[in-house]
Amino acid sequence: MAKCIDTNRDLLESISFNVSQFGDYQDMVNAFHKIRDLALSGKVPFVFFDEFDSDCNGQPLGWLKYFLAPMQDGEFKEGDSIHPIGNAIFVFAGGTRYTFEDFVQNSHGNGSTPIVVSSEDNKTDQNSVQETEDKDKEFRNAKGPDFVSRLRGFINVMGPNRQPSKEDDDDAFIIRRAQLLRVMLENDQRATSLFNSKRELSIDDGVLRALLNVTRYKHGARSMTAVIEMSRLAGKKNVLIFQLFQLRNSLICMWMQMNSFFDRKRTVSVDAPAARSS
């Protein structure tokens, strides 16, 4: 994203923080000082806050309130002093919620949406109503609605696994997997010999089909990364099944549903002609 905004890399300066590693507010103050130093140097800080939705001292979403003043007024408080941050771009990546909708789902009950209790199962619905009200209260206490109101956009990163909904079966998951696989191999120095002069990737048809169609990667993109990292690719001209997995089955099971992988692999022979991926 930063590269798209600043193609010449002379305007933005990227910096990242993992909020889950903060112990107290002083850690966040130290982060804001680093951001301020970048702004004072003449650069626009492009700040990535990972796991911003972590707990703070046992309070769910407890860090949100500390972002409000920097997001709204471009300043932060340290003791009795107020420090300006200057112009900056804040990017927040959640660690406990998969989508933006998951994050804000508790903010719908701000007094504007009536809750209807079904007569079919009054007790169950009352419990559901109480749970919803508790979550709404928790979200409001954490300043969730105030935080959301300061955002200017969001992106739901889908990941390599199918995420069907009532409106969409998400058949595009295979395209996402293909893109991830391509980028991972392009960035792996051991895999340079797998690409020809036209940047076409040489990979066994069965391996490619299995990687793209396996039912589920247990840990999303990290599982795909692990598969590539643990494969013997150096000096190879083609990705074959016996080069991709020089691993024990118990290790393979850490990353994907092994039976699903090998069931799809068997549909094409190991000795089949290499597929070309561009």
| Residue 124 structure tokens | 């169950």
> Where does the pLDDT of residue 270 fall: very low under 50, low under 70, confident under 90, or very high at 90 and above?
very low
29-60 per-position pLDDT tens digit = 999 999 999 999 999 999 999 999 999 999 99
Q: Is 178 found in the same domain as 145?
A: no
Kindly state whether residues 33 and 79 are assigned to the same domain: yes
In this structure, the answer to whether residues 27 and 81 fall within a common structural domain is yes
* Cβ(85)–Cβ(36) below 8 Å: yes
> Is 156 among the domain residues?
no
Structural domain includes residue 158: no
117, part of any domain: yes
- % pLDDT > 90, the chain: 41
| Model confidence at 267: pLDDT above 90 | no
Domain count, the chain: 2
256, part of any domain? yes
For residue 181, give the DSSP letter.
Answer: H
For residue 141, the 8-state DSSP code is: H
How far apart are the C-alpha atoms of 168 and 174, rounded to whole Å? 14
* 112, 201: one domain: no
Give a yes or no: residue 159 inside a domain: no
Q: How many whole angstroms separate alpha carbon 265 and alpha carbon 209? A: 7
Selected residue with higher pLDDT from 241 and 70: 70
Structural domain boundaries, residue 245: 173-277
* C-beta atoms surrounding 192 within 10 Å: 12
Condensed to tens digits (0 to 9), the pLDDT of residues 161-202 reads 998 877 888 999 999 999 999 999 999 888 888 888 899 888
Range name among 132-146, 216-230, 232-246 with the lowest pLDDT average = 232-246
Q: Are residues 109 and 25 in the same domain?
A: yes
